[in-house]
Structure 1
């Protein structure tokens, strides 16, 4: 799993930072990616990355402020020009359907693929055999959500040497054993999956929050996350100003990560008043609260490595 920050600026773009968008690249066998928010210019940023719109599978919108959604209509329209662009699902707060459908109607857009729009509430948002996505409401000036992406545990590796010793033929029986099912050979011998399958790989958890004041749901969504992405619009000491606009400071983001026992914190959504050097200094100053804090860098790729095997 890998995050790519396509935009890290709050409110409006700057010369060095675009407005909010984060891509989550998925490992094999998916090899696709999901997008979290799409501020104006997101598709332009993608042109300078390895991301291709025909590999985009899902878009999760945190809220309907323009710096998080104004890039959606153009991006969705351009996706029609990519060969192999399959169905796409957009998840977002109530109003996202009306925004997109009216935009398409007024501008005469006809998409060349199937688009599904899901207006979400708190709880489970999406699920498949590999991932679970949950949402909870945050505290902002508009209805806003944060997302918790949980990778399901992956089964361990087959012990091919032991399988050969036991006389298990390659084929469907391998699949059953890998799924944890015991099998019986033609000779009547029963093979226990626990004897020939290694330890499972625990899944990873990535939490991506929208704009928010510090709140209880931010801590819940980020609980023990391998990576937390939290906004840090203002410098520590400007908590009153941050609260008035529904935002957080670098200090508050670090406090949320600490309270949630997150393993790593990447802050983003920086006010245009701060240049890149000042952003780095502010993040460094928050390390007294949470050591593993780092500022998102425009177009930077953040790897979320697979956890080591659990002991049994």
Structure 2
């Protein structure tokens, strides 16, 4: 079951020749979920081959570098005769502003668009085996982050015990037991799932903060996260500027990842003042966080494995 993250835009408020404004696309086994949609996101999607079949867009806040790509993307979908519906999930109180963006320049979308206001502490999207949760962030506007959290998976099936110790004939019974169903054998014995199935195994968790100061809500949302994508706009020598603008430094992002016990930390929303060299941001984060940490780059793709993939 694939889970791939593509960074479409990793710049701060001002784009550079190397970095576009904020946008992250998550492809979970064919479900394409877009987080923020800065200017030029549609071109980045073409450039990096993510595909356009996005069903859900999650907006962290309404600053231009996170939403100005919405009008162009919607109009491109219309030019390509899209008829599938789109859900846009937004902070409370921002529905009208987002609706205005979807109808920019008098355009009327030819496909259904549902704008879903959802507050921190709630679930924005529930699918068969995962959900996208909303958590509180701290920025100079109504802002929030999102956590894609998969359901637990069934434990490992012990074929050796099933076939040789319990003498269960190979076949459909194995699948039923793995799904949690009891099975009655021809000899009258009833086999319970726990006799051949181990403890449930955790799914994966990918967390995206958008723009924020370091907050405890992110630690809670990102607990044991497989990938935390955190605002790291400034290096430590600009910590005062980070506080003034309600952003985070690399060191602060690293501290949050460490407190959460995350496995990997992607630093994004990099200020244009570090266009030449952002290594100081990564180095400060790495001093706080002993997991894998990297500066996200436009076009970078990350495969997120299951926590037990190496077992």
- TM-score if structure 2 supplies the norm length? 0.88
Judge which range, 97-106 or 283-292, deviates more.
Answer: 97-106
1:165-218 per-position Cα deviation (integer Å, ceiling 9, x unaligned)? 524653xx5553232111224664323223444554321111110111122222
Q: Would you say 1:264 and 2:264 are equivalent positions?
A: yes
Instruction: Specify the alignment match of 2:68 in structure 1.
Output: 70
- 1:17 pairs with 14, 19, 23, which one? 19
SS in 2 for 1:273: helix
In the superposition, relative to structure 1, how do residues 181 and 256 fare at CA in structure 2: closer, same or farther (>3 Å)? same
Q: Structure 2: how far apart are the matches of 1:3 and 1:106?
A: 29
Instruction: Specify the alignment match of 1:101 in structure 2.
Output: 99
SS in 1 for 2:33: strand
- TM-score if structure 1 supplies the norm length? 0.87
Q: Would you say 1:286 and 2:288 are equivalent positions?
A: no
Instruction: Specify the alignment match of 1:4 in structure 2.
Output: 6
Q: Would you say 1:57 and 2:55 are equivalent positions?
A: yes
SS in 2 for 1:143: coil
Measured on the aligned residues, the alpha-carbon RMSD in Å equals 2.6
Q: Structure 2: how far apart are the matches of 1:223 and 1:309?
A: 19
In the superposition, relative to structure 1, how do residues 270 and 105 fare at CA in structure 2: closer, same or farther (>3 Å)? closer
Instruction: Specify the alignment match of 1:217 in structure 2.
Output: 217
Cα distance, 1:60 vs structure 2:
0.8
Aligned 8 A contact 2:82 2:111 in 1: no
Instruction: Specify the alignment match of 2:149 in structure 1.
Output: 150
Cα distance, 1:95 vs structure 2:
4.5
Q: Structure 1: how far apart are the matches of 2:168 and 2:310?
A: 26
SS in 1 for 2:12: coil
Q: Structure 2: how far apart are the matches of 1:117 and 1:106?
A: 15
Aligned 8 A contact 2:88 2:115 in 1: yes
Q: Structure 2: how far apart are the matches of 1:82 and 1:32?
A: 20
Aligned 8 A contact 2:208 2:230 in 1: yes
Q: Would you say 1:128 and 2:127 are equivalent positions?
A: yes
Judge which range, 92-101 or 289-298, deviates more.
Answer: 92-101
Cα distance, 1:225 vs structure 2:
1.3
Q: Structure 1: how far apart are the matches of 2:113 and 2:33?
A: 14
1:224-265 per-position Cα deviation (integer Å, ceiling 9, x unaligned)? 212111111111022211111111111111111122222221
Q: Structure 2: how far apart are the matches of 1:109 and 1:196?
A: 58
Q: Structure 2: how far apart are the matches of 1:310 and 1:68?
A: 36
Instruction: Specify the alignment match of 1:192 in structure 2.
Output: 192
In the superposition, relative to structure 1, how do residues 228 and 81 fare at CA in structure 2: closer, same or farther (>3 Å)? same
Aligned 8 A contact 1:202 1:309 in 2: no
SS in 1 for 2:262: coil
Instruction: Specify the alignment match of 1:48 in structure 2.
Output: 47
SS in 2 for 1:135: strand
Q: Structure 2: how far apart are the matches of 1:176 and 1:64?
A: 48
